[in-house]
Amino acid sequence: MAVTFQSKEQAKEKTSKKAASDVVEIVEEMAGQKIELNAFKKLEKKYNDNRDTLKSMIPDDAEEGDPVVFTGNKHAVEFSACGNVRTITDMKMLHKKLGDEVFYALATVKLTDLDKYLSVEEQEDFVVTSQTGSRTCSVKEI
Pick from 61, 79, 60, 62: nearest CA to 70: 79
Ramachandran area for residue 58 (φ above 0: left; ψ -120 to 50: alpha; else beta)? beta
Q: Other CB atoms closer than 10 Å to residue 5's CB: what's the count?
A: 7
103 contacts 109 by C-beta, under 8 angstroms: no
Distance between CA 130 and CA 98 in Å, rounded? Answer: 32
- What is the total count of domains within the chain? 2
36 contacts 139 by C-beta, under 8 angstroms: no
Q: Is the pLDDT of residue 1 over 60?
A: no
Same domain as 104, residue 60: no
Write down the pLDDT at residue 19: 73
Q: Is residue 16 situated within a structural domain?
A: yes
Distance between CA 82 and CA 68 in Å, rounded? Answer: 10
pTM of full prediction above 0.75: no
Same domain as 103, residue 61: no
Domain interval for residue 32 = 10-79
Same domain as 97, residue 75: no
59 contacts 43 by C-beta, under 8 angstroms: no
Same domain as 96, residue 69: no
- The number of residues in the chain equals 142
Q: Is residue 96 situated within a structural domain?
A: yes
What confidence tens digit (pLDDT) does each residue in 66-76 have?
Answer: 999 999 999 99
Average pLDDT, the chain: 89
**pLDDT tier at 14, thresholds 50, 70, 90:** low
- Could you tell me which residue, 78 or 1, shows the higher pLDDT? 78
**pLDDT tier at 137, thresholds 50, 70, 90:** confident
Pick from 117, 111, 109: nearest CA to 129: 111
